[in-house]
Structure 1
């Protein structure tokens, strides 16, 4: 860790905070700035445990009116946003030397690159990383705020470049002040929820503003590594990384994602891709003015002076027509080949005519983008709940007089589905008028049929539990006219479904028709969020590992390429881990079929929000996957399996005893966290609950995690885990557990996850929420939870031999410490707001007071999420 860079980070945070202070001073005056400074001072000391500062902080806030609380919430939320921007710029500077080549060169410590040349080349050439952008738990910032933040990051990068004169320095600082003032005077909270189209447009913007530049740069680095070390190059059509999306395709529990909306998102993506490629080709057109070309190109354009421009001009016109979007869709660019073939011909001609330098310039970058993004920009996944597919067949079989599909046995369902899959006659009669819900499922399948296969990724079935869930989707696709074998992936997400997944897949892969359909390629999605919510993080983690291990063995048995799709979130409770740790903690062989993972909400911006960050993240993913393939982790020893199984079972029982069995848990959860208030925050397009009338069991994993993170108890990520580990880590087991820590990345990563969780947890903040919000008869419940939290922290430190949390990751520890002083006032603002809002429900508050309180509450929730670096 570079001390000079850390000092620069602290100075940058201080400078940005002072600039925001100047903005506040200009608008609100000296007295307001002094108040904010006093709150900041008390907050910083309160975060270190100073009881007097904590008392003063709470007292100051209690004496402010509602509008003033809103101002305080806005100020500290923006302080935290500025701290995040400073840290992003710091991360880029701190990792400038950490290139893809330097990361891959670490392999030489374990491999003889010359002797193992074929193995290394195979791992690189077979690299298959699919990053799936998702909109949930969603970005808490408005897009206009994100734009300003991106501009501010650019200015900081220029300021720290080291080549700035006095005049330029003044200009940059003026621009920084301008941007901070713009942000302060902009409403940071959405007044309405984003639509799925808004979310998709945000995803498009990530590609346009960052990944469009990062992908060719990353591929140039990878190509350079191959050329330097193995005297070979990447194939022209290499696609080691690609991007898919759930934005506009994920309809699981989201009534706003309809077939017509999916169609709109597909068309918008094509228009955005056309715009981006047209911009590239306009520039290329201006550069390719040369006359010399090869025979292939000359035969296409005839005797013209500028053959390259002649070949590209019709393509540019088609792209322009597509980007504008007013012409009929049939006149748009239709296939990736239509884009790529002219570019390949130009590229090859340049090589053939001795213009290699030009060929390896911008045209190569455009070609790389064409293979990565294509004319659809992203491959759209479709996700739907298994029950919705069953409802189609239930309604249809009743209409046809065949009984109720829902009541059939699994064997009868499979027999019916396989019979219809092999039949040449249509199953769905033209005179049938299904219910609106069933029609929507069928219309979605028709949208898939009416669009090219290159625009789609895979079809994911939530809550899949039987082979018929998969066969049913394949029959619906067939009946809707889908002419290509769209991959269908069951999503195993509850603990029971994960444990049963090998049996389900064994039954599927034993069906001859099915094996013919998948043609040796099977996708399976592993759910992290719901399994952790169901059984706690330790039991879920072991179930996920065991399921993957069994599925890998099963795929080998059936000579099938298995691609595991990881539904990870940004938080620990949703499977979040640093990329390298997550990849290396998977079972051996689980990466042989590629690596597919969700990138959700705000973590997309933290990893891919700027070109430099995106390139770094892509390099980390690529090097981690290559290393894990070449140097796979060890298979767990039988003793390790016995111990982790016992730990997982105890952890599950501990977790469920509190969450599912104790009658005081739900009442405590409702009053101790802002769970009910979260529903009013216009975050993503999806409702907070799958069933709007359900209780905790129907609450999505995202708001479940989000609510606990707001109070700094972060309970779902640790509850019951260390108790279970401590119960087992005794006597003869102790040296075995130590061996697991030293030799088994899966188990070490569990402890690393807890380390991160405990760094973010703060029992004193949680206690402050309880003192103000929880009735006396429930105070003991929160106290018991915090007692377990403190004991778990102490136990982990003893187990790892560390003095404090995150000892092995000082950057992350330093990051949280920088935020602590700004986070503390927001927590106490939120406590004050929650108390006032809840009292307002039972008293005669003016409507305007309630509006101000709720807006302040949304700002506080957002600010804490920004400071914690995650929503859910």
Structure 2
């Protein structure tokens, strides 16, 4: 075997670039950032580091384009040739490269979005305006407007440990992103361009020198502050701008002088600081702190926004006479805050609207600092004052000011209140049962019991201090009976004692396993007759939330059977809700990775059963997905626009009929797929010795050592059982091994069992659920790699299980390509295909480094502690692969 010649290398690089079909401007960004990283590596002080990185890069590119075993073996030899210290440096270099490639791709997406916005004839598909127009044509203008104004999108940010990047790394990337923007705007060969390039080198050098993995796990309050960064940087200003754009698009132009048609439809929820299922570090005290931190952020944002609006309202009373209500409001504000009123009146001698709003900003500040004399009792009182100002402006002829920036502020208050995000509590049903058994026995109370009861007192405190919307949703994970839900109300009564008033609670069942999903309709039918449930239903206009778990159901019966069971459960629950006169909101516990229900949200929404959306969609957003979807204002705007459009479209009679007809027409296929895929999945996971084998052939054990989040990776198990293994490390470990088994296993057997290729292709064209499943599996398999997967599976000394996995992968890939068409995976998704091909050879390099570390750890004597250098290399490679694949758990 010979090393590739320079000509062979150039040919390999050329083939790779040709396959990527990368837009020229994006290619230029990738090359620039890569060349700057190369300069940083050459200047790093580590002799020959750049040359070693290039050796591995060239070898993996050559192996990627040359399928021969010899090419792969050459790349593996290069990875194995480094010392552990050099392998550490090389892994960090490739991880840096991925961060830069991800940045370039995101920058290109933003550039395309901005250019598209600037086009006079924008394509309305996938926008709220386009969805509204189609809906109006189908159901009439009045009905479409009613549905638009009832629209609700409710993302819930969670603290699941799936964000492999440190916050310091994310911050450095954000700074670098700003510089890439500045470089694009600077004249060529100018001093500004030179200065920006110098600053980019500085940032890349900082990124290279920053440890990519955390030394310690973040605390729950650290996680709260991380999520707050997304709110401060993006959501606070972006969400009202989304409302504005949607309103203008629906009106067909920029008016700005009429009350908006669009009502605020985004509600933000959070489990960060509230989700205590299996996380002993989330206490009642943490929940109080989380609510206080969120309130501090939103009140500061509202205070500053009100100041900006107030300073801009320099309308003279002679041109815009104030209403009587505004003058009365001024008198009330002046008497409560006399010194400030005198000073503001001096600066705004004949500007009544300016005076009032500036005093309102002081009341918001007093609310933040807990000044009881000036503070607002709740956001509704602030909204009432702002609407007095708005009505006065409109009455005085200043409609543009009434419905301009002031309307943005009103939207912000309506969306975020004084709490920012609705804190949701989650706890396991078994914990409730254990605590109630102890309380009913009347003995001494354990520490766990006291903590569970204190949570209800914390909810009461949060509701009283920050408003009823600030907390109150209580999710019961592993709900298996109506009693599991009724237990929450019993515990709340215990918490407040005889004669006390429990907090207002919306108790939400979470159905996770295959059996629980099947039992869901019967459990719901029973619980709605429970006295406290029934009373709460009547108080809310018969509104009910039901949560569905994608992660554990997939780990329970495999991804194919889980998807079909989830669809069936939604259909049955939605039908029951319709018959019972209940306004149902289904809460989708989707992870970022495909094995946890991930994938494009808009296509998943359009594939839901009839009446399961009805203008409302709630889902979990976690880990890297939060920053990918909401970290940049332009991308966040596009994401919310697409999701809201899908929510509107999903409820259109034509879409519901399409899903209903397809589900009935292909019910026989679904039945065969469900049965055969589940049997194939059980062949694997129920095989004797599967659990320890899984822990051997993947870095599952080591994933638990990564300081990704505050929550433990397990619910206290050994590797002899998968029952209590969280779905996150289950998915994460398979992803790291380049197998992605959790996203596809069993589909090949299911399709082979159906066998009718023509009918399956027809189903792909006509059945949205099936199409979404096939497309997601195509993405999952595209990020897998046969050759590397075999290296991981060989670690386990179980050829039977390894062959089972590889056979199913081969079968699934073949069927997916046949059904979706084209000559390879993602042939019909060129942008996604390009993104995968852009990264794959470089991910291969990190996978080879991870494999050498994993082999060293597996080959070490069991009675000796793990080699810390090999362990560090493994964890560095895990972080790098996560950055390259952009899917962790």
> TM-score w.r.t. structure 2 length?
0.88
2:624 aligned to 578, 593, 602, which one? 602
Change (3 A) 1:233 1:489: farther
User: Which residue number in structure 1 is paired with residue 454 of structure 2?
Assistant: 443
Q: CA deviation at 1:233?
A: 6.5
Gap change, CA 1:637 and 1:574, over 3 Å in 2 = closer
- Residue 251 of structure 2 corresponds to which residue in structure 1? 227
SS in 2 for 1:670: helix
- The answer for the alignment partner of 1:533 in structure 2 is 555
Of stretches 120-129 and 170-179 in structure 1, the one that deviates more from structure 2 is 170-179
Compared with structure 1, are the counterparts of its residues 122 and 317 closer, same or farther at alpha carbon in structure 2 (3 Å cutoff)? Answer: closer
Question: Could you say what the CA RMSD is over the residues aligned between the two structures, in angstroms?
Answer: 2.7
Instruction: State which of 44, 50, 54 in structure 2 corresponds to 1:33.
Output: 50
Given that 1:339 and 1:375 are in contact with CA atoms closer than 8 Å, whether structure 2 keeps it comes out as no
After TM superposition, the structure 1 stretch with the greater mean CA deviation from structure 2, 810-819 or 355-364, is 355-364
| Distance apart, 1:7 and its partner CA | 2.2
Q: Matches of 1:723 and 1:348 in 2, distance apart? A: 65
2:104 corresponds in structure 1 to: 86
> Is the partner of 2:427 in helix, strand or coil?
strand
Question: What are the equivalent positions in structure 2 for 1:448-527 lying under 5 Å apart?
Answer: 448-452=459-463, 453-456=468-471, 458-479=473-494, 480=496, 481=500, 485-511=504-530, 514-519=533-538, 520-527=542-549
Deviations 1:450-507 (A, max 9, x none): 2221212521100001111111212333453556642111000000000000111111
Whole-angstrom CA distance in 2 between matches of 1:665 and 1:21: 43
- How far apart are 1:443 and its partner, in Å? 0.4
CA contact (8 A) 1:448 1:482 kept: no
Instruction: Give the Cα–Cα distance (whole angstroms) in 2 for the partners of residues 100 and 136 of structure 1.
Output: 36
Report the secondary structure of 2:668's partner residue.
Answer: helix
Say if 2:288 and 2:458, in contact at 8 Å, map to a contact too: yes
Distance 1:691 1:835, change over 3 A: same
- Unpaired stretches in structure 1, ≥5 consecutive residues: 400-431
Note if contact 1:561-1:593 (Cα within 8 Å) is conserved in structure 2: no
Cα drift, residue 299 of structure 1: 1.5
How far residue 855 of structure 1 moved from its aligned partner, in angstroms, is: 2.4
- 1:384 counterpart = 2:395: no
1:659 matched to which residue of 2? Answer: 685
Q: CA deviation at 1:398?
A: 1.5
Shift of 1:216: 1.6
Tell me, yes or no, if the aligned pair for 1:523 and 1:565 is still in contact at 8 Å: yes
User: What is aligned with 1:68?
Assistant: 86
SS of equivalent residue, structure 1 residue 865: helix
Distance in structure 2 (CA, Å) of the matches to 1:639 and 1:238:
38
Q: How far apart are 1:184 and its partner, in Å?
A: 1.2
Cα distance change of structure 1 residues 451 and 32 upon mapping to structure 2, 3 Å threshold? closer
- Structure 2 distance, partners of 1:330, 1:674, is 58
**2:309 is equivalent to residue 284 of structure 1:** yes
Shift of 1:237: 8.8
Q: Distance in 1 between matches of 2:19 and 2:70?
A: 35
CA 95–311 in structure 1, closer or farther in 2 if over 3 Å, else same: closer
Unaligned runs of 5+ in 2: 1-17, 335-344
Distance 1:109 1:287, change over 3 A: closer
Secondary structure of residue in 2 paired with 1:131: strand
CA distance in 2, matches of 1:510, 1:285: 51
Residue number among 583, 599, 604 corresponding to 1:561 in the alignment = 583
Whether contact under 8 Å (1:674, 1:834) holds in the other structure is yes
The 8 Å contact of residues 266 and 376 in structure 1, kept in 2 or not, is answered as yes
| C-alpha contact 2:574 2:611 (8 A) present in aligned 1 | yes
Query: How far has the Cα of 1:4 moved from its partner?
Result: 9.2
- In structure 1, what is the equivalent of residue 365 of structure 2? 320
Cα distance in 1 for residues equivalent to 2:576 and 2:123: 34
Q: Residue 210 of structure 1 contacts residue 609 of structure 1 at CA under 8 Å; is this kept in 2?
A: yes
CA deviations over 1:182-234 (Å, ceiling 9, x no partner):
11122221110011111111111111111122112111111112322899966
SS of the residue 1:113 aligns to:
helix
Distance 1:357 1:165, change over 3 A: farther
For residue 736 of structure 1, report the CA deviation from its aligned partner: 4.5
- Equivalent positions of 1:234-383 (< 5 A) are 235=260, 238-292=263-317, 293-302=322-331, 304=345, 305=349, 306-321=351-366, 323=368, 333-383=376-426
Q: Which moved more, 1:257-266 or 1:456-465?
A: 456-465
Give the match's secondary structure for 1:47.
helix
TM-superposed deviation, 1:163: 6.9
Pairwise CA distance, 1:356: 2.5
> How far did residue 297 of structure 1 move?
1.3
Q: CA deviation at 1:391?
A: 1.9
Q: Which residue of 2 aligns with 1:428?
A: none
1:471-870 pair list within 5 angstroms: 471-479=486-494, 480=496, 481=500, 485-511=504-530, 514-519=533-538, 520-592=542-614, 594-630=616-652, 631-632=655-656, 633-635=658-660, 636-660=662-686, 662-693=687-718, 695-730=721-756, 736-771=759-794, 773-775=795-797, 778-841=798-861, 850-870=867-887
Figure out how many residues of one structure are paired with residues of the other and give that number.
828
Q: Is 1:333–1:375's contact at 8 Å kept on the other side of the alignment?
A: no
Higher mean alpha-carbon deviation, 309-318 vs 495-504, is at 309-318
2:342 maps to what in 1? none
Whole-angstrom distance in 2 between the partners of 1:530 and 1:626: 29
Structure 1 position 30, deviation (Å): 6.2
